[in-house]
Amino acid sequence: MSEDRTQDHTRVQEFFGARAADWDRKFPGDGPAFDTAVAEFGLRPGNRVLDAGCGTGRAMTALRAAVGPSGTVLGADLTPQMLAAARDAGRGAQGALLLADVARLPLRDGALDAVFAAGLIAHLPDPGANLRELARVVRPDGRLALFHPIGRAALAARHGRELTPDDMRAEHNLGPLLAGSGWRMTSYADEDARFLALAVRTA
């Protein structure tokens, strides 16, 4: 692992590790937005889905409900404290929780039908390469959801900053980024109450 990757990992782990225990209490109203996003994702019973950067596993109950008992739900996160919080909340019962880097997933090519990623893209050290890794583990025509429970403007306001044209999640930036990473964006919604971009694997 390169020094830069190690530093990126350390920063992410320190940031989220310090916040893991209180994460769900800090954002108590996000549940319905997760449920709606998973419903719009269009998963089917028996599908194999990864919650990439799963954090405390807030999407896992909805993902399990969508794929049913015959489906597979995996949650992968880089921060041990987040996975511990997910287990403490009982979300480990919905699927397997993996301590793993989404930039190098311990999964074979085409192992999954779909990847759900909540709040992940802003924390990727190399978005193009990392999105290609997500494409690698998804079958052809498999799907990707990039989600956040509030939209870009609301998130920027929460962090005391303004939106700029170079925001990676802006539609005019995200579409080409996905296209260069093995995905084709099929829908894009950026509203006060949610951000949801859906894509299918093209290569």
**pLDDT (tens digit per residue) in 106-119:** 999 999 999 999 98
Q: Which residue has the higher pLDDT, 134 or 17?
A: 134
> Model confidence over 1-48: pLDDT tens digits?
444 444 566 665 555 544 555 655 666 567 788 999 999 999 999 999
In this predicted structure, the answer to whether residue 79 has a pLDDT above a threshold of 70 is yes
Which residues are CB-neighbours of 92 under 8 A, at least 6 positions away?
A: 57, 86
Q: Which residue has the higher pLDDT, 28 or 77?
A: 77
Residue 102 · residue 12 · CB < 8 Å: no
> Model confidence over 83-130: pLDDT tens digits?
999 999 999 999 999 999 998 999 999 999 999 999 898 888 899 999
195: closest CA among 142, 156, 143?
A: 156
Instruction: Indicate the SS3 state at residue 186.
Output: strand
pLDDT at 160: 84
pLDDT at 158: 80
pLDDT at 2: 45
pLDDT at 165: 87
For 34, other C-beta atoms within 10 Å of its C-beta total: 20
The token duo for 105 is 């997933």
pLDDT at 3: 45
pLDDT at 18: 42
In this predicted structure, the answer to whether residue 147 has a pLDDT above a threshold of 60 is yes
Strand 112-118 to 48-52 pairing: parallel
> Model confidence over 151-179: pLDDT tens digits?
888 888 887 888 888 899 999 999 999 99
pLDDT at 19: 57
User: What span, in angstroms and rounded, lies between the C-alpha atoms of 38 and 147?
Assistant: 9
pLDDT at 190: 94
Question: In the 8-state DSSP scheme, what is residue 1?
Answer: -
